[in-house]
Amino acid sequence: MPEARLELANFLQALLFVYSTCLLAHIVLQFIFAMGLRVPYARWSSAILGFLRDVSEPYLRLFRRLPLQVGPLDLTPLVALLVLRFVGGAIIGIVLP
């Protein structure tokens, strides 16, 4: 039984890492593309950004309802990443004995 809990905790940790990486990549690429460094009409960049948007927007939409904008700066992704890390760490802590 302890091996199953350890495997579940490792799986959840890997899942949180992959999702956090996708969120971070979405944030960075949106910032880079907003600065005008995007190749126009490039299918690969549109495909990557579309995938990352489809993966991360449902989670980020939960936090967009909160007033997390300070002037032109949007703190929604930062708060979403912090909540994901804390809640994920708490769940992993519960799973492990």
Q: What is the pLDDT of residues 8-38, one digit of tens each?
A: 989 999 999 999 999 999 888 888 877 777 6
pLDDT at residue 40 tops 90: no
Nearest Cα neighbor of 60 from 31, 34, 83, 41 is: 83
CA angle 85–88–93, rounded 5-degree value: 120
pLDDT at residue 1 tops 70: no
Q: Which position has the token pair 């091996």?
A: 3
pLDDT at residue 84 tops 80: yes
pLDDT digits (tens, 9 = 90+) for 61-77: 999 888 888 877 788 88
Q: pLDDT exceeding 70 applies to what percent of the chain?
A: 95
